[in-house]
Chains A and B, each alone.
Chain A
């Protein structure tokens, strides 16, 4: 849990090493943060992030990486319904 950069994944704090994270890593972190509640994402959820500045916000797609800073907040949305 010790790392360089404190990020948020679905509102929960997490520290990562370095300043770049990937899509798979965020899903893994989400599962780790929700393990105590017995929740586990399978598949490819929607992920977007906010860096506090609008021009730094974006969508993180599978296979992609993004630069993070302290406070970068990821939202993970598993559903896609109509």
Chain B
């Protein structure tokens, strides 16, 4: 009974469900008070025998109940600022019942089914979003990268900005504290593919500085045995978006990393790996050299925190390398401290990882022309003590 409505739902990004005597469209893009883009649920009751709408929901045979995504006045609007339909009732905040007669006022037509009635309302409600200039709100809520309606881009007016990276394939190399936050941020952009590279397993300590919190089921899985980081994060974000690919490869293995790059056309890479164990780390050579050789632009992020008595000091270093650049050889810190090391014990803090990831993603936005760029500096540092950004000039 909902073929036409469901087809429209696929196009406009809303979901159609049918209960015993209620047909409901959920996540319908709409204009809320003030012209803000939101979503709403449109529902009506029907007679299971005839499938025709009834007056149980909406208050009239040709009326529907609207529930909006944000508390305001409970109404949905045309692009010209007038409310859609005749207001029949509601709480003045989150829901209302409205009616739009079909046909002329004096000889209204009946809808063939409740689904037809919802379709008729949905067309007006979605059409208002398009008429207000938010056509991308509708096309972007289709299949795209996400498994939920993407009403965000239109609300935030960043659809055209993000068009620049929509087809991009991203690699996140290293899923420690910083890499996990990079994933959290990149997963919320409409890039086509996100490749996760890490061969480590999740430890309890990792969860203390990871974005969000593990579910009860995830904790049980971790209690039962080893879970690779790439699989943990892939599952965690899989319900939310398409295009996340886990690769449990050792990035310090030249053959494994080169094989990965040859098989996956990566457009941009985030490098979030440790290099504190060896001043001449082979991992640095493998990852950075391979990315340069493959002419893949990349952003490197690293944190240095030192315990100084009972407080910490440190820095977040973010740097960008154009395709083929070898500047990383001098720019990326690569050292270790030998001797008595009470201050150097792999001190880590989740907010510093989150900041490092944010700075890296912001640099990516700047380098991909999503941000206005007024600096040519390829490297900058955020010091915890000051706090301020220092760039390499």
What residues make up the interface of A, taking CB atoms closer than 8 Å to B?
34, 37-46, 48, 50, 54, 57-59, 61-63, 75, 77-82
Beyond A42-B279, A43-B279, is A78–B335 a contact (Cβ under 8 Å)? yes
What residues make up the interface of B, taking CB atoms closer than 8 Å to A?
174, 176-179, 272-276, 279-280, 301-306, 313-315, 317, 330-341, 344, 346, 348, 353, 356, 379-381, 383, 386, 388, 390-393
Number of A-B contacts (CB under 8 A): 128
| Distance, CA A48 to CA B272, complexed state (A) | 21
Instruction: Enumerate chain A residues within 8 angstroms of B341, measured Cβ to Cβ.
Output: 39
Instruction: Enumerate chain A residues within 8 angstroms of B272, measured Cβ to Cβ.
Output: 82
**Partner pick for B346 among A41, A57, A75, A81, CB 8 A cutoff:** A81
| Distance, CA A75 to CA B303, complexed state (A) | 14
| Distance, CA A58 to CA B388, complexed state (A) | 11
Q: A43-B280, A75-B383 are in contact. List 12 more A-B contacts (CB 8 A).
A: A43-B333, A43-B334, A43-B335, A48-B390, A58-B392, A61-B330, A62-B330, A81-B276, A81-B303, A82-B176, A82-B302, A82-B353
List the A residue with the shortest CB-CB distance to B305.
A79
Instruction: Enumerate chain A residues within 8 angstroms of B317, measured Cβ to Cβ.
Output: 46, 77, 80
| Distance, CA A57 to CA B336, complexed state (A) | 25
Residue pairs across A and B with Cβ atoms less than 8 A apart, 21 shown, are A41-B337, A42-B279, A43-B335, A44-B335, A45-B333, A48-B390, A50-B386, A59-B380, A59-B391, A59-B392, A75-B383, A78-B333, A78-B337, A80-B304, A81-B274, A81-B348, A82-B174, A82-B177, A82-B302, A82-B353, A82-B356
Give, as a whole number of angstroms, the nearest-CB distance from A81 to chain B. 4
Q: Are A82 and B274 in contact (CB under 8 A)?
A: yes
Instruction: Enumerate chain A residues within 8 angstroms of B381, measured Cβ to Cβ.
Output: 46, 48, 59
Give, as a whole number of angstroms, the nearest-CB distance from B203 to chain A. 14
Give, as a whole number of angstroms, the nearest-CB distance from B346 to chain A. 7
| Distance, CA A59 to CA B373, complexed state (A) | 20
| Distance, CA A17 to CA B192, complexed state (A) | 56
| Distance, CA A79 to CA B334, complexed state (A) | 7
Instruction: Enumerate chain B residues within 8 angstroms of A82, measured Cβ to Cβ.
Output: 174, 176-179, 272-274, 301-303, 353, 356
Beyond A81-B275, A82-B176, is A41–B383 a contact (Cβ under 8 Å)? no
Instruction: Enumerate chain A residues within 8 angstroms of B315, measured Cβ to Cβ.
Output: 46, 48, 75, 77
| Distance, CA A67 to CA B281, complexed state (A) | 31
**Partner pick for A77 among B178, B333, B338, B393, CB 8 A cutoff:** B333
Q: Are B333 and A46 in contact (CB under 8 A)?
A: yes
Instruction: Enumerate chain A residues within 8 angstroms of B392, measured Cβ to Cβ.
Output: 58-59, 61
| Distance, CA A78 to CA B346, complexed state (A) | 11
Give, as a whole number of angstroms, the nearest-CB distance from B333 to chain A. 4
**Partner pick for B337 among A40, A44, A59, A80, CB 8 A cutoff:** A40
Give, as a whole number of angstroms, the nearest-CB distance from A74 to chain B. 12
Q: Are B390 and A59 in contact (CB under 8 A)?
A: yes
List the A residue with the shortest CB-CB distance to B272.
A82
| Distance, CA A44 to CA B332, complexed state (A) | 8
For A34, A43, A63, A77, the residue with the greatest tally of chain B CB atoms inside 10 Å of its CB is A77
Beyond A39-B341, A43-B279, A58-B391, is A81–B335 a contact (Cβ under 8 Å)? no
Instruction: Enumerate chain B residues within 8 angstroms of A79, measured Cβ to Cβ.
Output: 276, 302-306, 333, 335-336, 344, 346
Instruction: Enumerate chain B residues within 8 angstroms of A48, measured Cβ to Cβ.
Output: 315, 381, 383, 390
Beyond A61-B330, A62-B330, is A78–B336 a contact (Cβ under 8 Å)? yes
Q: Are A61 and B336 in contact (CB under 8 A)?
A: no
